[in-house]
């Protein structure tokens, strides 16, 4: 077989060095090529992390036994021998930037797993990497060099669970400075100055929010394939909003970073919330900031974890061993009956709120003129499966309303239910939330849902506080609320309101306060929605697709109203026509939708849907092993096949 020359650039020789020419035959394997290049370079070092990168094809040659012929490499190929792990600047949700070594040759999904293993973050499948938004430089501002924490000396993460020392990975426990870095990751950062918040990039409308989602990296391709170079800056963020198996003992970094992402989503108005909710968020931030100076997350202790899991198993057993009376009660499905008021903004028949007798059975609400007429035909029946539920509450104003958007053939019908008091509201709100997911009142989560709604309402109650608390000057109110409320109120007006809300949370421990913050954030109507501007087949105007952890939402771009909701559990199949870049989805009942994406690649939508379906397959017992192959099958598209 004829020999021919192959030129290979060697990264170690420097960018200006000419490529090395080596004589090869077509049946020489990739491992043999690397061996020849290393010998010719005459550099003594550990080459085990190096591999060949094929520049024209933008691909790695990672199979050392494959021959040049099998790879399709000819004399015109430009190859480069380069390290697979390179330094990367990584900005975490808390705003800290780390310099660390990441894998540039594996798919991003695996690279993120490696990064999370190094930082001791469990369930890396919930996170991913995205490009930062390019910030427009103002002329007056000098380029301020951000603070970098260098942990490139950390050993490359192996597939095994990291060794822990003092509750942190062994690498961080080696020196005082690395230990300080780990503590910064595991403890929430103090409230930023209002000027810092003002300078940060803030989305002002739904289209800008949609543009951010076009920046996610493709999970099934490597960093180098996507144009990421060493020392580039990327953001590490929670992408899939289904947080599996959160255990504060083992998840100090994960919970802290999740809290920081939630806090910034609220402060930068990425997630909408009411004024009362904002005051509760501000009070919790103030409390967490105070408590985190003295208290820390419970460090991981194996004996405690065993005890926890044993208690959880016991809890499940106890739930199973219920009495005969309880069983009779659950066999006859529970119902709700009460007088409520209803208001339908788009219907002229009901002007203002009108009182009726309501019954809630399984996932359906019916209403009648009076209690006596409840044995006759109802005035109307509304199935709440797949509906959108949002609170419209003011505890101070004694207003307890539930806003329902119910899917109908012409789109979403808007209905408001008004409750008399918070006990009634808590029960009906919990029932509506469960029904929207297709669950009935017999579901075991009903009572915990009622309790969480009641505890949230309790936080919004103002308690007459002492004058000393009212004049607490250490509170920097404008760092705790979003810019909208900074403009609306002066610090003098905000301080008493935040301190009133603070009275209700002051007794919470750090772990409880952070978990309460996350609970309230997860209960917000547009929590975890990723927006993409799309154009539906047969339509002439752009619309917005909202992707959540359990549903897809069609939103009118001009008004921002929800037009239609589709649940994943009614989805039959979805596919992408990669040639015309169109996503087609089929739901139960012969419902078919198709759309092309305007602000992002359709691969991003495909990956979101596949990713959420993958997240729903995770069970409690297999929490440590990830089915990576299934993730690529669901999210990878035509390349995965």
Q: Using one digit for the tens of pLDDT, what is the confidence trace for 357-380?
A: 999 998 899 999 999 988 889 998
Pairing of strands 85-91, 79-83: unpaired
8 A C-beta contact, residue 190 and residue 94: no
Q: pTM (2 decimals)?
A: 0.84
Domains 335-441 and 530-636 in one fold: yes
Collect contacts of 196-202 with beta carbons under 8 A, ≥24 apart. Answer: 197/267, 197/268, 197/478, 197/479, 197/483, 198/483, 200/268, 201/133, 201/135, 201/268, 202/268, 202/269, 202/483
The total of other beta-carbon atoms located within 10 Å of residue 350's CB is: 15
Copy the structure tokens of residue 227. Answer: 């144009």
Phi/psi at 575 (5° precision):
-150, 165
pLDDT at position 393, please?
Answer: 87
* Domain 335-441: assigned CATH number: 2.30.29.30
Determine the Cα–Cα distance for residues 520 and 280; give it in Å rounded to an integer: 9
pLDDT at position 463, please?
Answer: 60
Above pLDDT 90, what percent of the chain?
Answer: 56
**Stretch 549-555: mean pLDDT, rounded?**
92
Determine the Cα–Cα distance for residues 31 and 48; give it in Å rounded to an integer: 11
The sign of the CA dihedral 534, 536, 542, 546 is: negative
8 A C-beta contact, residue 187 and residue 135: no
The total of other beta-carbon atoms located within 10 Å of residue 57's CB is: 14
Highest mean pLDDT of the ranges 122-131, 454-463, 483-492: 122-131
pLDDT band at 115 (very low <50, low <70, confident <90, very high): very high
Where in the chain are the domains?
4-83, 335-441, 530-636
- How far is Cα of residue 238 from the mean position of the Cα atoms in its chain? 4
pLDDT band at 339 (very low <50, low <70, confident <90, very high): very high
Contacts of 558 (CB under 8 A, 6+ apart): none
DSSP3 helix / strand / coil % (the chain, rounded to 5)? 35, 25, 40
**Stretch 512-531: mean pLDDT, rounded?**
92
- Locate all alpha helices (DSSP H) within 553-627, ordered by sequence: 602-615
pLDDT at position 473, please?
Answer: 56
Per-residue pLDDT tens for 474-498? 688 888 998 889 889 888 899 999 9
Per CATH, the architecture of 530-636 is what? Answer: Roll (2.30)
Fold held by 4-83:
Ubiquitin-like (UB roll) (3.10.20)
Residues linked to residue 91 through DSSP beta bridges, in sequence order: 97, 235
Is the pLDDT score of 562 beyond 50? yes
* Residue of 192 and 414 predicted with greater confidence: 414
Contacts of 116 (CB under 8 A, 6+ apart): 122, 123, 124, 127
pLDDT at position 324, please?
Answer: 47
* Residue of 480 and 249 predicted with greater confidence: 480
pLDDT at position 561, please?
Answer: 87
């Amino acid at each position: 077989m004829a020999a021919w020359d192959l030129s290979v650039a060697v990264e170690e020789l420097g960018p200006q060095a000419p490529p090395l020419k080596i004589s090869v035959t077509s049946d020489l394997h990739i491992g043999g090529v690397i061996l020849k290049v290393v010998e010719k370079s005459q550099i003594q070092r550990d080459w085990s992390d190096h591999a060949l990168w094929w520049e024209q094809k933008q691909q790695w040659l990672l199979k050392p036994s494959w021959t040049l012929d099998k790879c399709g490499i000819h004399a015109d190929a430009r190859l480069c021998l380069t390290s697979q792990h390179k330094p990367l600047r990584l900005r975490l949700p808390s705003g800290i930037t780390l310099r660390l070594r990441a894998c540039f040759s594996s798919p991003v999904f695996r690279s993120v797993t490696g990064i999370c293993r190094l930082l001791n973050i469990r369930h890396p499948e919930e996170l991913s990497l995205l490009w930062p938004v390019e910030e427009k430089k103002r002329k007056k501002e000098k380029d301020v060099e951000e603070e970098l924490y260098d942990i490139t000396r950390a050993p490359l993460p192996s597939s095994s669970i990291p060794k822990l020392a003092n509750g942190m990975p062994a690498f961080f426990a080696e020196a005082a400075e690395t230990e300080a870095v780990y503590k910064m990751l595991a403890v929430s950062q103090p409230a930023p100055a209002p000027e810092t918040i003002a300078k940060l990039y803030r989305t002002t409308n739904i289209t800008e929010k949609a543009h951010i989602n076009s920046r996610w990296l493709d999970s099934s391709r490597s960093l180098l394939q996507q144009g990421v170079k060493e020392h580039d800056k990327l953001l590490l963020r929670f992408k899939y909003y289904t947080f599996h198996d959160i255990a504060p003992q083992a998840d100090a970094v994960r919970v802290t970073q999740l809290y920081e992402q939630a806090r910034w989503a609220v402060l930068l108005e990425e997630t909408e919330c009411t004024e009362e909710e904002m005051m509760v968020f501000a009070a919790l931030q103030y409390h967490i900031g105070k408590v985190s100076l003295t208290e820390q997350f419970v460090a991981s202790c194996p004996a405690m974890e065993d005890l926890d899991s044993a208690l959880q198993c016991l809890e499940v057993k106890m739930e199973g061993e219920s009495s005969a009376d309880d069983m009779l009660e659950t066999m006859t499905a529970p119902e709700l009956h009460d007088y409520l008021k209803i208001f339908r903004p788009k219907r002229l028949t009901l002007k203002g709120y009108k009182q009726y007798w309501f019954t809630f059975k399984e996932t359906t609400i019916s209403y009648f003129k009076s209690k006596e007429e409840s044995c006759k035909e109802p005035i109307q029946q509304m199935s709440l499966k797949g509906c959108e539920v949002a609170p419209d509450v003011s505890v101070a104003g004694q207003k307890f309303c539930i806003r329902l958007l119910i899917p109908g053939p012409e789109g979403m019908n808007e209905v408001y239910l008004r409750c008399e008091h918070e006990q009634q509201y808590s029960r009906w709100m919990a029932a509506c939330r469960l029904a929207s997911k297709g669950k009935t009142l017999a579901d075991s989560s009903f009572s915990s849902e009622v309790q969480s709604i009641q505890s949230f309402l309790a936080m919004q109650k103002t308690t007459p506080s002492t004058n000393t608390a009212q004049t607490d000057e250490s509170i920097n109110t404008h760092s705790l609320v979003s810019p909208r409320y900074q403009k609306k109120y002066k610090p003098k007006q905000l301080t008493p309101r935040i301190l009133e809300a603070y009275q209700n949370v002051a007794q919470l421990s750090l772990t409880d306060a952070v978990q309460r913050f996350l609970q309230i954030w997860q209960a917000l109507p547009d929590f975890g929605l990723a927006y993409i501007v799309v154009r539906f087949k047969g339509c002439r105007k752009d619309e917005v697709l909202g992707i959540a952890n359990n549903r897809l939402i069609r939103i009118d771009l001009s008004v921002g109203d929800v037009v239609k909701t589709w649940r994943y559990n009614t989805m039959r199949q979805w596919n992408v026509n990669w040639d015309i870049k169109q996503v087609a989805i089929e739901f139960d009942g012969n419902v078919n939708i198709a759309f092309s994406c305007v602000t992002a690649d359709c691969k991003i939508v495909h990956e979101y849907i596949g990713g959420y379906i993958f997240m729903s397959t995770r069970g409690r017992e297999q929490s440590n092993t990830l089915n990576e192959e299934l993730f690529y099958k669901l999210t990878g598209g035509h390349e995965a096949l």
